[in-house]
């Protein structure tokens, strides 16, 4: 069967293609359209997926959308009516938005792809999250927990999944917490209050939290309380996301926590105001962790299963994930590389294939590389046109040279094979540097990433060496496979790993198995032979405000516009020197 999964229209739209139960292609629309967090109908991603497989839309047996538009409409309308008459502006906005396009997905998909409407199917949003988490994990039976801002009505679900290779699959979500009570919305509200963009700045809140003390936990607990049955409920007097589009927190929220931060204001930890914001971030982070850990613990007691699959945007919180692994009783925690909405494209297709159509289970390849591959000849052409010479080397020599470059303090743009699905660079579209000093971190922030100083950079380490440098609990190496957990850097290595050690002594590491990205693994080995430390700083290959690079043309333009010293695309290496002076270009113009 050929099944296409689609997620769209909220944030991070994507498409994924399954053929006979196995993934063939999956990519986020932003990587194709080059608009960060592109939420538009992912026509570019769909075209690429179909083109990659050599299929015409007619050949698809089903197209599965990742949520039920009517249920979502029901939730939005009920919520707006429930906050009558304060929701008058939000009502007009939401109706224009939903009635304009989002409600008619069957027709839109059918007309965009030219397929019969009967081929268009729908899963529930959290079923797609659950499938993306469980059916991509190497486990036969696991508890499942999904948490995000909101899908249709559900904001958090728990259940379990069971499958047998070649046999049937069941995914049973037992209970849910419904909108407006949402951990994702709680965290996003604090994200907005702290002056960061919602659906983008949540990472920043997590990074900021390490600079603060959780001394406002009591205040956060006034905005959310545990219910007697072990769930939670928001005190809606502190929130406005359910009734307005103007802002997500209320005046009472501001009375409780003080004035919000303007997005344009820098965060200065030397000021009382800067420390207050950090303390608020630390407090909401602590509350989020406590709730998730407690829910996971209860789920473990109920299921008595060793494995937990975690899905939904909240699963991107690596600090919380690490605590769940340590404290909930589960032995292994699986978080897919794209636990957010982009991964729902894959989840929706998998759910339809295994559960709805009852097709036999197939083992899912345990890597995130489902996007377009690089065309190395592009680098040769582009460099040649700019008077530069790309150098073609055999693998071994290239890796030794790159290790030398990094050891010499150079920053390397690294492109290899197919693009990752998900928000993290996991070894195929990375910027790599030596991890030893804060100077390189500052240089990356200043000359390449153009981002806040308080945000940490992540390390990548061969999985077999991870425990030497990082304090990993049992199962930690698995969680670190896709950079989904934050763990302490061992005390004795912190000084030598200052570039990737966060202020609280932790790092969001990637523990890399050789089979997942052999060339990067080899590079880590080569670098280790030079420095004694086979660890590299690994950050996504993009500039501020841009999606991760896709093809060589984007990698090359990023290389040209930033302080990256060396660009590697496959077996080609390009070193920077100024091609022509700007004055020369102006003259030429």
Partner 1 sequence: MLEPLYRWIWHHPGRRARKLFSFAAVEADGGRDLVRAAELTRDPLLRRLYLAHASDECRHAGLFHDRGVELLRDNPAANKGSVFQAEWLAPGERGLDDLRVEREGDGALLAFLHLSEKAAARSFALYRNALPDDPATRSVFEKVLRDEEFHMKYTRAQLSRIEPERQRVLIWRARLGRLWKGYLRLAMALAGAISGVILTLLYFIVLPPFALLAKRAMRREPQGWTAIPIVQGGAPGKRSQP
Of 162 and 200, which has the nearer Cβ to partner 1? 162
From 114, 304, 492, 589, residue interacting with partner 1 (rule: CB under 8 A): 589
Contact, 277 vs 208, CB < 8 A?
Answer: yes
From 255, 270, 394, 586, residue interacting with partner 1 (rule: CB under 8 A): 586
As beta bridge partners, residue 105 has none
CB of 472 to partner 1, least distance (A): 33
Among the residue ranges 82-90, 195-203, 497-505, 532-540, the one whose residues contact partner 1 (CB under 8 A): 82-90
Of 247 and 490, which has the nearer Cβ to partner 1? 247
Among the residue ranges 75-83, 364-372, 498-506, 567-575, the one whose residues contact partner 1 (CB under 8 A): 75-83
Distance CA 173, CA 579 (A): 58
Among the residue ranges 196-204, 418-426, 482-490, 578-586, the one whose residues contact partner 1 (CB under 8 A): 578-586
Site for partner 1 contains 127 (CB under 8 A):
yes
- Write each residue from 188 to 217 as x if it is in contact with partner 1 (CB under 8 A), else as -, in one continuous string: ------------------------------
Among the residue ranges 105-113, 283-291, 410-418, 574-582, the one whose residues contact partner 1 (CB under 8 A): 574-582
The token pair that represents 117 in the structure block: 């409407």
Distance CA 99, CA 75 (A): 14
DSSP helix, strand, coil percent of the chain (3-state; round to 5): 45, 20, 35
Distance CA 72, CA 99 (A): 12
Of 175 and 397, which has the nearer Cβ to partner 1? 175
CB of 238 to partner 1, least distance (A): 15
Site for partner 1 contains 302 (CB under 8 A):
no
| Cis peptide bond prior to 580, omega within 30° of 0 | no
Distance CA 500, CA 359 (A): 44
Binders of partner 1 among residues 13 to 72 (CB under 8 A) are 34-35, 62, 64
Contact, 288 vs 312, CB < 8 A?
Answer: no
From 20, 70, 84, 396, residue interacting with partner 1 (rule: CB under 8 A): 84
Site for partner 1 contains 433 (CB under 8 A):
no
The token pair that represents 128 in the structure block: 């797609």
Of 451 and 530, which has the nearer Cβ to partner 1? 451
Contact, 579 vs 388, CB < 8 A?
Answer: yes
Site for partner 1 contains 81 (CB under 8 A):
yes
Give the CA distances from residue 483 to residues 159, 192, 488, 528, in Å, rounded to whole numbers and listed in that order.
24, 25, 14, 20
Any idea of the CA torsion for 414, 415, 417, 423, to the nearest 10 degrees? Answer: 90
Distance CA 159, CA 107 (A): 32
From 67, 148, 554, 565, residue interacting with partner 1 (rule: CB under 8 A): 554
Site for partner 1 contains 515 (CB under 8 A):
no
The token pair that represents 34 in the structure block: 């080059």
Of 111 and 170, which has the nearer Cβ to partner 1? 170
Of 491 and 581, which has the nearer Cβ to partner 1? 581
Query: Which of 165, 131, 170, 169 is closest to 362 using CA atoms?
Result: 165
As beta bridge partners, residue 308 has 143, 333
- Write each residue from 140 to 179 as x if it is in contact with partner 1 (CB under 8 A), else as -, in one continuous string: -----------------x-x--x-------xxxxxxxxx-
Site for partner 1 contains 91 (CB under 8 A):
yes
- For residue 82, how many other CB atoms are within 10 A of its CB? 13
The token pair that represents 95 in the structure block: 């109706």
Query: Which of 319, 332, 260, 331 is closest to 290 using CA atoms?
Result: 319
Distance CA 165, CA 517 (A): 25
Any idea of the CA torsion for 499, 504, 506, 508, to the nearest 10 degrees? Answer: -80
Of 233 and 439, which has the nearer Cβ to partner 1? 233
Site for partner 1 contains 398 (CB under 8 A):
no
Of 384 and 474, which has the nearer Cβ to partner 1? 384
Distance CA 484, CA 230 (A): 26
The helices-and-strands tally (H runs, E runs) of the chain is 21, 24
Distance CA 50, CA 73 (A): 30
Of 445 and 510, which has the nearer Cβ to partner 1? 445
SS3 397: helix
Query: Which of 112, 123, 146 is closest to 346 using CA atoms?
Result: 123
CB of 97 to partner 1, least distance (A): 11
CB of 90 to partner 1, least distance (A): 10
CB of 129 to partner 1, least distance (A): 13
Among the residue ranges 115-123, 138-146, 198-206, 404-412, the one whose residues contact partner 1 (CB under 8 A): 115-123
From 59, 197, 389, 579, residue interacting with partner 1 (rule: CB under 8 A): 579
Among the residue ranges 430-438, 459-467, 491-499, 551-559, the one whose residues contact partner 1 (CB under 8 A): 551-559
Of 124 and 420, which has the nearer Cβ to partner 1? 124
DSSP codes of every residue in 416-430: -SEEESSSS--SSEE
- Write each residue from 223 to 262 as x if it is in contact with partner 1 (CB under 8 A), else as -, in one continuous string: ----xxxxxxx----------------------------x
The token pair that represents 282 in the structure block: 């630390």
Chain length of the chain? 589
Of 10 and 559, which has the nearer Cβ to partner 1? 559
Binders of partner 1 among residues 376 to 395 (CB under 8 A) are 382, 385-386
Binders of partner 1 among residues 474 to 503 (CB under 8 A) are none
From 11, 72, 129, 181, residue interacting with partner 1 (rule: CB under 8 A): 181
The token pair that represents 181 in the structure block: 């009570």
Binding stretches for partner 1 (CB under 8 A): 34-35, 62, 64, 78, 81-82, 84-85, 88, 91-92, 95-96, 121-124, 127, 157, 159, 162, 170-178, 181, 227-233, 262, 264-265, 351-352, 355-356, 382, 385-386, 545-546, 553-554, 556-557, 560-561, 579-580, 582, 585-586, 588-589
């Amino acid at each position: 069967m050929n099944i296409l999964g689609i997620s769209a229209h909220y944030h991070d739209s994507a498409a994924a293609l399954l053929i006979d139960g196995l993934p063939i292609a999956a990519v986020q629309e932003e990587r194709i359209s080059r608009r960060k967090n592109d939420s538009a109908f992912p026509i570019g991603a769909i075209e690429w997926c179909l083109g990659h497989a050599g299929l015409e839309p007619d050949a698809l047996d089903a197209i599965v959308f990742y949520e039920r538009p009517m249920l979502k409409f029901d939730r939005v309308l009920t919520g707006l009516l429930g906050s009558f008459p304060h929701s008058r502006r939000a009502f007009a906005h939401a109706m224009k938005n939903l009635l304009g396009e989002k409600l008619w997905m069957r027709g839109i998909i059918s007309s965009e792809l030219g397929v019969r409407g009967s081929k268009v199917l729908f899963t529930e949003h959290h079923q797609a999250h659950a499938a993306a988490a469980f059916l991509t994990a190497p486990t036969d039976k696991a508890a499942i927990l999904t948490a995000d801002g909101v899908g249709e009505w559900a904001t958090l679900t728990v259940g379990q999944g069971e499958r047998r290779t070649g046999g049937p699959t069941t995914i049973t979500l037992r209970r849910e917490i419904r909108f407006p009570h949402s951990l994702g919305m709680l965290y996003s509200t604090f994200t907005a209050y702290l002056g960061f963009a919602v659906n983008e700045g949540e990472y920043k809140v997590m990074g900021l939290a390490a600079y603060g003390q959780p001394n406002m936990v009591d205040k956060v607990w006034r905005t959310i309380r545990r219910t007697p049955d072990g769930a939670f409920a928001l005190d809606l007097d502190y929130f406005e996301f359910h009734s307005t589009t103007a802002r997500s927190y209320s005046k009472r929220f501001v009375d409780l926590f003080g004035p919000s931060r303007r997005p344009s204001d820098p965060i200065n930890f030397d000021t009382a105001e800067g420390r207050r914001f950090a303390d608020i971030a630390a407090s909401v982070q602590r509350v989020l962790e406590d709730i998730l850990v407690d829910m996971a613990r209860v789920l473990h007691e109920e299921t008595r299963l060793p494995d937990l699959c975690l899905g939904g945007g909240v699963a991107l919180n690596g600090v919380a994930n690490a605590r769940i692994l340590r404290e909930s009783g589960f032995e292994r925690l699986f978080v897919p590389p794209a636990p957010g909405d982009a991964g729902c494209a894959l989840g929706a297709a998998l759910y339809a294939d295994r559960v709805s159509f009852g097709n036999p289970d197939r083992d899912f390849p345990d890597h995130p590389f489902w996007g377009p591959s690089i065309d190395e000849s592009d680098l040769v052409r582009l460099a040649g046109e700019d008077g530069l010479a790309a150098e073609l080397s055999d693998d071994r020599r290239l890796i030794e040279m790159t290790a030398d470059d990094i050891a010499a303090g150079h920053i390397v743009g690294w492109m290899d094979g197919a693009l990752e699905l998900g928000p993290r660079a996991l070894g195929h579209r990375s910027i790599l540097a030596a991890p030893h000093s804060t100077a390189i971190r500052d240089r990356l922030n200043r000359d390449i990433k153009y981002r806040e100083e308080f945000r940490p950079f992540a390390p990548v380490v061969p999985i077999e060496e991870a425990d030497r440098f990082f304090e990993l609990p049992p199962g930690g190496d698995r969680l670190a496979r896709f950079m989904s957990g934050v763990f302490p850097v061992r005390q004795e290595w912190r000084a030598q790993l200052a570039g990737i050690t966060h202020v609280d002594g932790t790092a969001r590491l990637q523990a890399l198995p050789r089979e997942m990205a052999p060339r990067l693994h080899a590079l880590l080995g080569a670098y280790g032979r030079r420095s004694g430390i086979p660890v590299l700083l690994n950050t996504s290959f993009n500039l501020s405000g841009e999606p991760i690079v896709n093809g060589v043309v984007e990698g090359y333009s990023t290389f040209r516009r930033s302080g990256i010293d060396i660009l590697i695309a496959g077996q080609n290496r390009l070193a920077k020197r100024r091609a022509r002076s700007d004055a020369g270009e102006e003259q030429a113009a």
